[in-house]
Structure 1
């Protein structure tokens, strides 16, 4: 197994029209969840990935499990909850490049995750554990589950990749900062967006943000800079990597998870950090071209058709 990840995936309703949701009469149904986005992105790039969660024992829960499993992701660790529902959320599109999201996730099955839902053998068999800052915001038991998974990964020599993915709609800024910095200190790789890095470290340049995490014990930091690409740093090297050009941005949601999938794909393939970041930028750019969280993620044959692996970086 290349990567194991866990967290909440919801049923996503996309309006077929732009404007306030009160005027939307028709929707397309799909799924959305940062961790499953990364899992699907990696599976499409040819990797073995496992996604763990709790879902309601309802039609939406079966739909989510089947969707993710149908993308080639191992869902054997999914638990169906008889008493709590699968969460849903809605997008609101006011303009081509602007989306808002509205969550209906309070009391969801995923918010009832506990450390018992994460088995040591599931973590130990992976090369990387991917976690986000969304899961610990869902409940106290979810936070305990994240810490439990990280402890299992460290025990078994599995590298931990942490994407803060800050959602201030579900907890306060101060609570988020305190909890997420505590988690980041236990991880090998941290992938903040620039604004997330500013909030967490109170620094205002990519270099200072990265150095703050490195001084806290993180081995590698990649600060995502949107259209400008990304900046990465370790204790011994650093570099800005230009972003991939996108002719028309349709929907920005899912781009950060696409970056994570591409970046991890590069690391799994044994590429240099710079090469992995370049691939992350490229996969993230694909996500910008369509409406939906995962619909734009490419298959490896699309990224690098009939060429050697490194040709994708040219």
Structure 2
């Protein structure tokens, strides 16, 4: 994997989407899901060399996950097939036009058994960026140890480490998350969080400026605060920069935060300045919310300008 731009690891899930309440029955369509996989695909679509490491079930569902990743240009040579554990499942229920609910069946899954030895070959091959999220260490003690080892090892080697807090309340409490993610953030160069997640990498109850100052003092170079429809804020040693969201019709917000992170990291890999990185981040976030699916509507590189100077309902001919 010489020349790899980004390595990420975690649990790839089979997402089963419904168009109405699960209790009413009806068709479920399978999709690849998982925050880290979403980021890998977002970058691969923009022409970056990306790899995903982890464990998937050694059955048809695991094969489906690998096939989807390969089809999107993501390197999966370091994914381990686990014959003893099932694939993790995520059910997305479109309860109303404005509300989607998520149900997980991932306890004891192949992805939750991720360990340090699973990551050694991938990390040893080298990458410009290591991306991890707060989801993986919530899966199991073994996965938690692997995430901490990878972050420390990559940071020591001079690799840029990006941590997206990505708190999942159904996986662990805020107190448990804070106890793990606060030290993990100490190995990161880039920390990404929504405004209500920022205190999970710092002191509970502290305001945003205090939390950001603490992260910068610990060696984090950039703190990104996602604000949904209000855009984002970026903090560095040089101060704060704001970016407005692109105006689009939002139809599905699942995966928007991962798209934002993919856009930011793509800008970093391309050598853009902070304003350019933020612009690409909010652009990918807009593509994500304007279509259905975790990653399916993310742009190719020649489509990055599609949302510029357009009007709702436009048709490109």
TM-score range, shorter chain: over 0.9
Report the Cα offset of residue 120 of structure 1: 5.2
SS of residue paired to 1:118: helix
Corresponding residue for residue 15 of structure 1: 18
Matched residue count:
303
Query: How far apart, in 2, do the equivalents of 1:114 and 1:213 lie?
Result: 27
Shift in alpha-carbon separation, 1:204–1:225, aligned structure 2, 3 A: farther
- The answer (yes or no) to whether the contact 1:85–1:109 under 8 Å persists in 2 is yes
Shift in alpha-carbon separation, 1:45–1:126, aligned structure 2, 3 A: same
- The answer (yes or no) to whether the contact 2:260–2:285 under 8 Å persists in 1 is yes
Report the Cα offset of residue 28 of structure 1: 1.2
Over 4 Å off, 4+ runs: 203-206
Q: Map 1:56-71; keep pairs closer than 5 Å.
A: 56-71=57-72
Shift in alpha-carbon separation, 1:254–1:121, aligned structure 2, 3 A: closer
- The answer (yes or no) to whether the contact 1:12–1:91 under 8 Å persists in 2 is yes
Query: Gaps spanning 5+ residues in structure 2: where?
Result: 307-317
Report the Cα offset of residue 204 of structure 1: 6.5
Corresponding residue for residue 312 of structure 1: none
| Aligned with residue 244 of structure 1, among 238, 246, 251 | 246
Corresponding residue for residue 218 of structure 2: 216
Report the Cα offset of residue 97 of structure 1: 3.0
Backbone CA RMSD of aligned residues: 1.7
- The answer (yes or no) to whether the contact 1:194–1:223 under 8 Å persists in 2 is yes
- The answer (yes or no) to whether the contact 1:203–1:209 under 8 Å persists in 2 is no
Query: Gaps spanning 5+ residues in structure 1: where?
Result: 306-314
Query: How far apart, in 2, do the equivalents of 1:265 and 1:97 lie?
Result: 30
Query: How far apart, in 2, do the equivalents of 1:250 and 1:123 lie?
Result: 40
Report the Cα offset of residue 216 of structure 1: 3.0
- The answer (yes or no) to whether the contact 1:15–1:92 under 8 Å persists in 2 is yes
Provide TM-score, normalisation by structure 2.
Answer: 0.91
Query: How far apart, in 2, do the equivalents of 1:94 and 1:68 lie?
Result: 28
Report the Cα offset of residue 27 of structure 1: 1.3
Provide TM-score, normalisation by structure 1.
Answer: 0.92
Corresponding residue for residue 301 of structure 1: 302
